[in-house]
Chains A and B, each alone.
Chain A
């Protein structure tokens, strides 16, 4: 258990509405990540953070924004949800002696109708 929680765990929303997913960690790790997992595509990196207020884009960042105002929380926002953003979203942190291994949260299932 890497001390990562995600909320909500399940969400159904309508196209065009804003959605915010939260990732919370209890171990003060510097690096945090957001991925999405879709059939046939595997997991793809959306955004990541390397410190408070320090973030960068991943492979599939269009339509997503992130914020990290505290070390323990990394928020993913869909400003105007679309059906193509229906997916399972995973948060991850890096830990280990050299901060090299990524550990994943339990995921959030998002359905955009």
Chain B
């Protein structure tokens, strides 16, 4: 059974800092890996998707990497802003992409 772990569970940083969020998974036979953002009381917003054959994806200030062999992904956020404050979720897809297994998230607070 696939298990996904995100560390740390919570993180507080000053504005402008670069930061890394970690995601690890137990079964390397994945279809893809997706990073989401969730604001309090809201749905999930897709940030980045990395195919199983890819090593990284970039979107603006966000960069996600994937190391399937070690079962790890990182989400790098450059020059953090208060608007980045949210919970970040990592999800690993198996079963042809139909079964997403989520981590419990990292709650990020970026302070002025």
Known A-B contacts A102-B34, A104-B44; the reply to A42 vs B98 at CB < 8 A is: no
Contact B100 A45 (CB under 8 A): yes
Of B66-74, B78-86, B101-109, the one with at least 4 CB within 8 A of chain A: B101-109
Contact A43 B46 (CB under 8 A): no
Residue A63, interface by CB 8 Å: no
Contact B102 A90 (CB under 8 A): no
Question: Which of A44, A90, A94 is in CB contact (< 8 Å) with B97?
Answer: A94
Closest to A107 in B: B43
Contact B103 A48 (CB under 8 A): no
Q: How large is the interface on B (under 10, 10 to 19, 20 to 34, 35 or more residues)?
A: 20 to 34
With the chains together, A107 CA to B42 CA distance in Å?
7
Task: Output the residue of A40, A58, A102, A105 with the most chain B CB within 10 A.
Answer: A102
Residue B75, interface by CB 8 Å: no
User: Which A residues from 44 to 103 make CB contacts under 8 A with B?
Assistant: 44-45, 48, 50, 56, 58-59, 90, 92, 94, 96, 99-103
Question: Which of B42, B43, B49 is in CB contact (< 8 Å) with A100?
Answer: B49
Contact with A along B23-50 (1 / 0, CB 8 A): 0000000011010100000111110010
Contact B46 A103 (CB under 8 A): yes
Contact A100 B32 (CB under 8 A): yes
Residue B55, interface by CB 8 Å: no
